[in-house]
Amino acid sequence: MEYLGHVLVLVAIYTVLAASLNVLVGHAGILSVAQAAFYGVGAYASALLAVRLGAPFIVGLLAGMVVAVLVSFVVSLPSLRLHGDYFVIATFGFQMILYSVFNNWMGLTDGPLGIPGIPQPVIFGWRVESHFEFLVLAAVLAAFAYLVVWRITASPFGRVLHAIREDEVFAQALGKNTLRFKVTAFAVSAALAASAGSLYAHYITYIDPTSSTVMESILVLSMVIIGGAGSPWGPLVGAVVLVTLPEALRFVGFPSSVAANLRQIVYGVLLVIMMMFRPRGLVGRYGFGR
């Protein structure tokens, strides 16, 4: 049961991450490979505040989200003027820079040694300890992320994001400041990703740069695409599929070390198959194959 609880907590955390990226990829049509960087910002901000200053979980969570929003402005204001592939390359560069910061700023992050001993969350007297309790907390966070994404995307704000996704020039001609909408969407996406990072840090009680690699960003992007970009249920479906699939591989006789490596191959094969036969994802609305 503990194992199942752990897998479900990971599903919930990745659902938050995928939902956050869905704002960009699914609704605004902006491809980004920097989600793990914002996840890392949230995880490190929350961990450092908790370990060094003894800040409560909620403070760390909110601080991580605020820092992620500020960092997102630094990235998005210059780079969201770029279009298509150029923006993807810019987010890739940003992802690499932040990974290097996490890995090399020994004074702050302890580099590859990471930060151990992150306390488990205490929320208004409720100490979150067991897998089940973490599952409840992660589910609440996922529900919050879904609520935020739904409120934003099913609104006039979301309508403009969809216009940008379909035809940015058309949106500009109608008087929409598309840069403002894209920067705002990027900030919301970053804040939600940071909240997932914060929860992850307090769940595992240890954080190091390996959680913030470009491979993690590609994993989250795969979840969005396989689940279905632009679809409300796509992030959840993508997270369930891509978290449970490698776990399932263990049960068909592959040792953990092989299963871990096979994971990347499985993601790649799945992406190719989806692009060929179901570009809108499993439950998606917006296709990449158009």
Partner 1 sequence: MEALRCEGLSKSFDATQALANVSLEFPTSGITAIIGPNGAGKTTLINVLTGFLRPDAGRCFLGRRVITRLAPHRIAQLGVARTFQDLRLIQLVTALDNVLVARPNQRGERLLGALLRLGVAAEEARNRQAAIDLLRFVGLEEKALELAGELSYGEQKLLTLACCLATEARILLLDEPVSGVHPEMASRILGLLRRLRDEGKVIVFIEHDISAVRQVADLVIVMDEGKVIAQGLPRDVLERPEIMEAYLA
Report the residue number, 5 or 279, with the smaller CB distance to partner 1.
279
Task: Give the one residue of 19, 45, 135, 171 binding partner 1; rule: CB under 8 A.
Answer: 171
Q: What is the 3-state secondary structure (H, E, C) of the chain?
A: CHHHHHHHHHHHHHHHHHHHHHHHHHHHCCCCCCHHHHHHHHHHHHHHHHHHHCCCHHHHHHHHHHHHHHHHHHHHHHHCCCCCHHHHHHHHHHHHHHHHHHHHCHHHHCHHHCEECCCCCEECCEECCCHHHHHHHHHHHHHHHHHHHHHHHCCHHHHHHHHHHHHHHHHHHCCCCHHHHHHHHHHHHHHHHHHHHHHHHHHHCEECHHHHCHHHHHHHHHHHHHHCCCCCCHHHHHHHHHHHHHHHHHHCCCCHHHHHHHHHHHHHHHHHHHHHHCCCCCCCCCCCCC
| Residue 172 within binding range of partner 1, rule CB under 8 A | yes
| Residue 178 within binding range of partner 1, rule CB under 8 A | yes
| Residue 98 within binding range of partner 1, rule CB under 8 A | no
Task: Give the one residue of 1, 173, 252, 265 binding partner 1; rule: CB under 8 A.
Answer: 173
| Residue 176 within binding range of partner 1, rule CB under 8 A | yes
Q: Which stretch binds partner 1 (CB under 8 A): 33-41, 54-62, 126-134, 168-176?
A: 168-176
- Residues 139-158 binding partner 1 (CB under 8 A) are 148, 151-152, 155-158
| Residue 184 within binding range of partner 1, rule CB under 8 A | yes
Applying CB under 8 A, which residues contact partner 1?
A: 148, 151-152, 155-160, 162-163, 166-167, 169-178, 181, 184, 188, 285-286
